[in-house]
Amino acid sequence: MTSFSRRAVIASGLAATAVPALTAPALGKSPVGAPKPWGATPSPRQLAWHKRQQYAFIHFSINTFTDKEWGYGDEDPKLFNPTDFSPDQIVAAAKAGGMTGIILTAKHHDGFCLWPTLLTERCIRNTPYKNGKGDIVGEMAAATRRAGLDFGLYLSPWDRHHPEYGRPAYVDYFRKQIVELCTRYGTLFEFWFDGANGGDGYYGGARETRKIDAPAYYDWKTTVALVHQHQPMACTFDPLGADIRWVGNEDGVAGDPCWPTMPNHPYVQAEGNSGVRGAELWWPAETDVSIRPGWFYHADEDGKVKMPDRLLKLYDESVGRGTNLNLNLPPDRRGRIADTDAAVLASFGAAQAATYRTDLARGAVAHASAERGAAFAAARVLDGRDDSYWSTPDADHNPTLTLDLPPGRSFDLIRLREYLPLGVRVTRFAVDAEVDGLWKTLAEHEAIGAQRIIRLPQPITPRRLRLRILDAPACPAISEIALFRQVAPVKVAPSTRKDPTILSTAGWRIVSASSPGAEALLDDDAATRWTTPAPTPGTPSTVTIDMGKTVRLAGVSITPSRTLAKNVSPPRGYRCETSVDGKKWEPAGAGELANIAYALATQRLPFAKARDARWLRLSFDATALPAASLALAGIGGFIAAG
């Protein structure tokens, strides 16, 4: 990570070249220069990253064809066989949604590589796709650039297949993969390192658990420097020393406030969601979420795609709080974005483009309680430029700026931006409006930063709008005050397609459970949940279900609750037993529920072989995270295809 002192020097240079450094001398007065930066400031590549606002994550790999979220590492590469792969269709859907770039999962935790690497046989060379002559990474890179978008890559540090994982030889292999990806596919805007590292895996047939000390094992300082050696403008995600951090959840919700600064120590999730005001590192948050419950495509989630109104809320909760939104769009087994997902993106993108096309503050007259000089006049907030700003004399930390608005300007969105090369200077602010001669406070918040979007409950048509800086350690540097009127997105009908292998739970009933309320597991509603005291050694949490009739059961699904609650966790693993008579029970499956605590996605758990069953019993021995209670939203089952 660039040192604090060097960042201050960089920021000073950016500030000096962004606006006239000195106002014209008048009446013998000394010229006025730009304010000095305050606190941590962004590097040039971080500054470029902040301007991207939203881009797409593309999770597409072996998991797409095994119906898993995390592969174990023993899957046959020949399973990867998209029937109609169209990188242009994927990119077009993302672009229609207003995405500015694409980040592709080049290798997920199972170790399968989407490019024809010679470093391992576990790659696209050994798949039916284009008879082993394809290159998904290259094809996606070309399509992304044809569409005028930027390209980035995800490379999982964890590899559940590689026999040397956890030993020095794997780190050498991993870094060679980085060099391949950084040198073969043109300019990258982001290089994504997942935080999941170490655990159960195939590991070349060892089938064991391997734990690592990630910072020491990967030597992140050296690894991040390797990326920047080949891709100087690629922001890295997410260990200490990287350019951007995880927001602390996979729900698409940044903290309010969400400061772009963090302490100079390894990432702490409790700090990551909101950042730490005044901390020494510029380490801004990226907010990631999937358009579906899972990160990879699953046919049983076709009816669970987030609708345009939900994407609007996600935008407010991420971009509107100064972070970048990384929206996952998982291609299906054809290798395309499903129709419903594409329709949602088109509706959302069109509405946002229409909303933000016209700044309704244009034509207003700006005046402030104080100005630093002509180069930093109040009018700078209205000039549409990101390299100019309003500022005040050094000693004035609590000024006000007022806009006299043209008559009849109706708006329900207010966007504020600070001039980031000078740091995040405003701690707390308020926005007021004058209507019928009376001032009313519309909002009061902490943090402006890259941007702060304030959504009003309904449009207003005030005569004046006022920004009040309530608390700041330095004079402000406000680059924009903009006003907009939200255009409603076109409604999209949810998909009605139903996977024929998914069993309906309509006729199922709870026979017994370790605590009341287990009926919520069968209502096909992820918003409801069964909560039970956390299991203890020798006393698991259990639920027994009568499916109403005997079926040829191929596996079960377990859906965690997505309702945020304190001291509640999904289970860490599961054990499943089946019975045809409710008396004699046979083991059917057991194992981990991979990443269930953070991804909060449905786990599809196939049995080694299908079996006749009418009754199900599931047991949970521990919670995924320390918690007083265990919670689940749903349990289901599926039969074999065909």
What is the rounded end-to-end Cα distance, in angstroms, of the chain? Answer: 53
- What is the predicted pLDDT for the residue at 76? 97
Q: In this predicted model, what pLDDT tens digit does every residue of 389-444 receive, in sequence order?
A: 999 999 999 999 999 999 999 999 999 999 999 999 999 999 999 999 999 999 99
Query: In whole angstroms, what is the distance from residue 18 CA to residue 46 CA?
Result: 16
Instruction: State the pairing for strand pair 54-58/101-107.
Output: parallel
Instruction: State the pairing for strand pair 199-201/208-210.
Output: antiparallel
Question: For residues 227 and 189, is the Cβ–Cβ distance under 8 A?
Answer: no
Q: What three-state secondary structure class fits 457?
A: strand
In the chain the domains, ranked by start, together with CATH numbers, are 1-34+358-490 (2.60.120.260), 51-224+234-244+287-356 (3.20.20.80), 509-639 (2.60.120.260)
CB atoms < 10 A from the CB of 151, how many? 24
| Mean of per-residue pLDDT scores for the chain | 93
Cα atoms found within 13 Å of the Cα of residue 530, Cβ hemisphere only: 26
Contacts of residue 580, defined as CB under 8 A and 6 or more positions apart, other chains included, come to: 550, 612, 613, 614, 615
CB atoms < 10 A from the CB of 212, how many? 18
Q: What is the DSSP string of 394-420?
A: TT--S-EEEEEPPTT--EEEEEEEE-G
Cα 62 to Cα 107, 135, 326, 417, 490, distances in angstroms = 10, 14, 22, 42, 34
Phi-psi group of 567: left, alpha or beta (phi > 0 → left; psi -120 to 50 → alpha; rest → beta) = left
**Predicted structure pTM score:** 0.88
Least Cα distance to 612 among 636, 642, 637 occurs for 637
The percent of residues in the chain predicted with pLDDT above 90, rounded, is 86
Q: What is the band of 13 on the pLDDT scale with cuts at 50, 70, 90?
A: very low
Q: In this predicted model, what pLDDT tens digit does every residue of 195-220 receive, in sequence order?
A: 989 889 999 999 999 999 999 999 99
**How long, in residues, is the chain?**
642
Beta-bridge partner residues of 589: 576
Q: In this predicted model, what pLDDT tens digit does every residue of 235-246 receive, in sequence order?
A: 999 999 999 999
* DSSP letter, residue 54: E
The dihedrals phi and psi of 17, each to the nearest 5 degrees, come to -90, -15
- What is the predicted pLDDT for the residue at 641? 77
- Residue 8: pLDDT over 60: no
Q: In this predicted model, what pLDDT tens digit does every residue of 127-174 receive, in sequence order?
A: 999 999 999 999 999 999 999 999 999 999 999 999 999 999 999 999
Query: In whole angstroms, what is the distance from residue 435 CA to residue 407 CA?
Result: 12
- What is the predicted pLDDT for the residue at 588? 97
- Residue 7: pLDDT over 80: no
The tokens describing 340, both together, are 């419903």
- What is the predicted pLDDT for the residue at 642? 66
Q: In this predicted model, what pLDDT tens digit does every residue of 572-631 receive, in sequence order?
A: 999 999 999 999 999 999 998 887 887 777 888 999 999 999 999 999 999 999 999 999
Query: In whole angstroms, what is the distance from residue 104 CA to residue 388 CA?
Result: 35
- What is the predicted pLDDT for the residue at 6? 28
* DSSP letter, residue 335: S
- Residue 21: pLDDT over 70: no
Query: In whole angstroms, what is the distance from residue 471 CA to residue 265 CA?
Result: 27
The tokens describing 212, both together, are 């690592």
Q: What three-state secondary structure class fits 309?
A: helix
Q: In this predicted model, what pLDDT tens digit does every residue of 247-256 receive, in sequence order?
A: 999 999 999 9
Amino acid at 345: L
Question: For residues 284 and 245, is the Cβ–Cβ distance under 8 A?
Answer: yes
The tokens describing 484, both together, are 């907009």
Q: What is the band of 31 on the pLDDT scale with cuts at 50, 70, 90?
A: low
Mean pLDDT, range 98-110, rounded to an integer: 98
Instruction: State the pairing for strand pair 438-446/428-435.
Output: antiparallel
Cα 87 to Cα 62, 151, 288, 337, 345, distances in angstroms = 17, 13, 22, 9, 16
